[in-house]
Amino acid sequence: MKQFAKKILVTGGAGFIGSHVVRRLLKKYPDYLIVNADKLTYAGNLENLIDVDSLPNYRFEKLDIVDADSVHSVFSKYEITDVIHLAAESHVDRSIEGPMEFVMTNVVGTANLLQAAKDTWKGESNHVFHHVSTDEVYGSLGDEGLFTEETPYDPRSPYSASKASSDHFVMAYFHTYGLPIKMSNCSNNYGSHHFPEKLIPLMIHNIQHKKPLPIYGKGDNIRDWLWVEDHASAIDAIFHNGRVGESYNVGGLNEWTNIELVRFLCQLMDEKLGRKTGESEELITYVTDRAGHDKRYAIDASKLEQELGWTPSITFEVGLSKTVDWYLENQSWVEKVTSGSYKDYYQTMYANR
């Protein structure tokens, strides 16, 4: 095998954020081998990487991280030097319907990767295991304050509980075995290739097709939105220059209530689709609230900014406009990823709302 400077296992590289991370690394670091290991669940699509999958430093392995033997085999096959771990079940509503898949992939899968890294690297310090996590582990904020790296964990949903558990295993492997870990906890991402069950891509799809726009509860829950490519640049910075054993919060200081965000999206799309102002807003439909719906997430990313000089590169207005354009131009992608088993799920989850 050609001598690569690093041989990085990126898990979940066929998903939303993972595909942006893989694309960035492949292009920016041609001397790194990037092994994308992904189970290809409903959320993973190799088509997300069609523009880069013929690059000579790219490999794909279909892998279920719950299968410990297969995880170990991939480590030895490629002599993996580093890990960027994104593979996860990621949708809160699905975790409420069926938490066990989240326990298996997010907790057991992460533990399998940690164990394989520990067995392979045998105490050497010249490696990095970067665990990609979420701000949802901190629980729910009131009207004031921001999540910092010191905020105590207080997960509320099965999704955030499974991610919190995986974060604890990552830190435990650092403290107990000295595994060289780094961790990032990011706010809500948006951008291209986002599976259309999450708020922003679902709303874009429904506005385009004049379907109801389901707003949970009163629509006053708040999320802090970050452009997915800025998350990828933060991961790049932390992976290379972050301190071992540390976690870094990643966010855009960009809080929106869900209803404000959806109204803004309606205005943007009315303009882009040549509809009269206010036409799409008529599609807004208030539906039963999500069980245990976290009120507010907001990130203090000053540690990342001060230590590594990272800041978001674009405003929400520009990023959202680009995102809408991508979805309007890539209707066939949406149709492809929402056909098959997703259709049944969608019908069960949303038909009666």
Catalytic residues: 135-136, 159
Distance in Å, CB of 106 to ligand TYD, minimum: 13
**Contact window for ligand TYD (CB under 6 A) among 51-59, 75-83, 117-125, 213-221:** 213-221
Residue type (1 letter), 198: K
Residue 214: name its binding partner from ligand TYD, ligand NAD, none (Cβ under 5 to 8 Å by kind). ligand TYD
- Centroid of chain to Cα 204: 19
CB of 104 to ligand NAD, least distance (A): 7
The correct pick among 33, 43, 111, 298 for binding ligand NAD (CB under 6 A) is 43
Tell me the residue nearest to ligand NAD as measured from the CB.
15
Instruction: Pick what 22 binds: ligand TYD, ligand NAD, none; C-beta below 5 to 8 Å, kind-dependent.
Output: none
Pairing of strands 82-85, 6-11: parallel
Q: Which residues pair with 58 in a beta bridge?
A: 34
Binding mask 129-168 for ligand NAD (x = CB under 6 A): ---xxx----------------------------x-----
CB of 278 to ligand NAD, least distance (A): 29
Q: How many other CB atoms are there within 10 angstroms of residue 41's CB atom?
A: 19
Region 89-148 residues binding ligand TYD, contact defined as CB under 6 A: 92
DSSP reduced 3-state for 187? coil
Q: Which of 8, 9, 14, 237 binds ligand NAD (CB under 6 A)?
A: 14
With a CB cutoff of 8 Å and minimum separation 6, the contacts of 282 are: none
> Among residues 74 and 207, whose Cβ is nearest to ligand NAD?
74
Burial zone of 79 (CB within 10 Å; 0-12 exposed, 13-18 middle, 19+ buried):
exposed
Q: Is 11 in the site for ligand TYD (CB under 6 A)?
A: no
Q: Which amino acid is at 8?
A: I
Per CB under 6 A, 199 contacts ligand TYD: yes
Phi-psi region of 139 (alpha: psi -120 to 50; beta: other; left: phi over 0): left
Helix (H, G, I), strand (E, B) or coil at 6: strand
- CA 317 – CA 332 distance, rounded (Å): 25
Contact 206, 283 (CB under 8 A): yes
Residue 125 structure tokens = 């310090």
Task: Give 213 or 299: the residue with its C-beta nearer to ligand NAD.
Answer: 299
Q: Are 74 and 61 in contact (CB under 8 A)?
A: yes
| Of 95, 151, 189, 192, the one binding ligand NAD by CB under 6 A | 189
What residues contact 8, with CB distance under 8 A and at least 6 apart? 25, 32, 33, 34, 35, 80, 81, 82, 83, 84
Select from 215, 238, 266, 269 the one that contacts ligand TYD (CB under 6 A). Answer: 215
Residues that bind ligand NAD (CB under 6 A): 11-12, 14-18, 38-41, 43-44, 63-66, 86-90, 105, 109, 132-134, 163, 186, 188-189, 195
Per CB under 6 A, residues contacting ligand TYD are 92, 188, 198-199, 202, 214-216, 221, 223, 258, 290
